[in-house]
Amino acid sequence: MNRIFSGMQPTRQLHLGNYLGALRNWVSLQDQFESIFCIVDLHALTLPQDPAVLLGNTREVTAAYIAAGIDPERCIIFNQAAVAAHSELSWILSCHTPMGWLNRMTQFKEKAGKHRENAALGLYAYPVLMAADILVYKATHVPVGEDQKQHLELARDIAGAFNRHYDKDFFPLPEPQILGEATRVMSLRDGTKKMSKSDESDYSRINLTDDADTIALKVRKAKTDPDPLPESVEDLEKRAEADNLVTIYSALAGTSRQDTLDRFAGQQFSGFKGALVDLAVDKLAPISTEMNRLMSDVGEIDRILRRGADKANAIASANLADIKDIIGLLRP
């Protein structure tokens, strides 16, 4: 059976990269797969968090999932800390993962910075917890943005190592699903950097909760070059910022980058930006309105998460029991 698992960290607000690279794809995939969508609050702990803010963000990300179109009746939506099997399997898998594999992870190197000795052990072990998230449900497909590709390859390696060690075909090797035009949305201020929640400048990203005026301001201030839009996508190759805006437009419009160029070739970016603002507001305003509505009834969000956690727990604890039997861990 095909089963999707994916998740987002409840750190700060979700942005257009999270939406176009992942969340929007989840919405279309929920019709084809049994789907489990997690708010990965344990992953958020790898960097310092304020307790009240973390709690609020967990509910807000839940609201964003639902507002974007994830149906809590058909899909399982829950927060990671509510299902203990993630942490338990993470320990088990960490005992099957050579440190050399983790040393290759580029995201750890970026996030730990120069003072690696001061980085938390959890930041280093983060990809093992991510593997556990996926494997505890024996998920077959994982829709993510491109920045998660290396972590997913590691999850496949860990699953393969476990299967070989116990000579069992137990874990499916999860397939990454990196879909659509915008698998890597770049910063609006620097087309060589990923759009990211951790960028100091709020002008580098469009948040799902930004209002129309803020979106307009950010798009107007977005970096571009002086040339007009070119005729073909090959001509965007050395124009990172131009390429990014064309990519964002195309992803929001549901067309290819070439279709966008066919329409706007020869026009200046000032005009194109106006069309981009209209489109972004048109697509994002209903999501932020619905998020606000959902956030006005936190009790209902908590009920959805509790129901999701119950269903997730049923699957995860049955799989964990099988895993313990395979390993030889005594169960009461």
Q: Let me know if 197 is a catalytic residue.
A: yes
3-state helix, strand, coil in the chain (%, to 5): 60, 10, 35
- What DSSP string runs through 157-183? HHHHHHHHHTT---S--PEEE--SS-S
Euclidean distance between CA atoms 242 and 232, whole angstroms: 12
Question: Which long-range contacts does 165-172 make (Cβ < 8 Å, 24+ apart)?
Answer: 165/96, 166/326, 166/327, 168/326, 170/138, 170/322, 170/323, 170/326, 171/135, 171/138, 172/138, 172/139, 172/140
Binding site for ligand TYM (CB under 6 A): 5-9, 17-18, 21-22, 40, 43, 130, 133-134, 142, 144-145, 147-148, 151, 183-185, 194-195
- Please give the helix or strand (H or E) that residue 242 lies within, else none: helix 240-253
Residue 270 parent element (H or E): helix 269-295
- Smallest distance, ligand TYM to C-beta of residue 266, A: 28
Q: Are 293 and 285 in contact (CB under 8 A)?
A: no
Cite the annotated binding site for ATP by residue number: 9-11, 17-18, 145-147, 185, 194-198
Catalytic residue from among 138, 194, 218, 223: 194
Q: Which residue do the tokens 């395979």 mark? A: 326
Smaller CB distance to ligand TYM: residue 119 or 265? 119
Q: Can you tell me which residue has the tokens 């910063």?
A: 187
Backbone phi and psi for residue 174, each to the nearest 5 degrees, phi listed first: -65, 135
Distance CA 152, CA 135 (A): 11
Give binding residues for L-tryptophan as ranges: 133
At 38, give phi and psi (nearest 5°): -115, 150
- Residue number with CB closer to ligand TYM (14 or 323): 14
Nearest approach in angstroms of CB 31 to ligand TYM is 19
Residue closest to ligand TYM when measured from CB atoms: 21
Question: What are the two backbone dihedrals, phi and then psi, of residue 153, each rounded to the nearest 5 degrees?
Answer: -65, -40
Min dist. Cβ of residue 173 to ligand TYM (A): 14
CA distances to 29, 86, 294 from 20, in Å: 14, 27, 21
For ligand TYM, the closer CB: 197 or 307: 197
Q: Which of 111, 149, 311, 324 is catalytic?
A: 111
Closest to ligand TYM by CB, 89 or 185: 185
Closest CB 22 distance from ligand TYM, rounded Å: 4
Q: Which of 149, 197, 283, 311 is catalytic?
A: 197
Q: Which is nearer to ligand TYM, 18 or 288 (CB)?
A: 18
**Smallest distance from the beta carbon of 262 to ligand TYM, in angstroms?**
24
Instruction: Output the smallest distance, CB 197 to ligand TYM, in A.
Output: 7
Compare residues 121 and 330 and give the one whose CB is closer to ligand TYM.
121
111 a catalytic residue = yes
Among residues 84, 85, 77, 86, which one has the least CA distance to residue 303? 77
Which residues participate in catalysis according to the annotation?
111, 194, 197
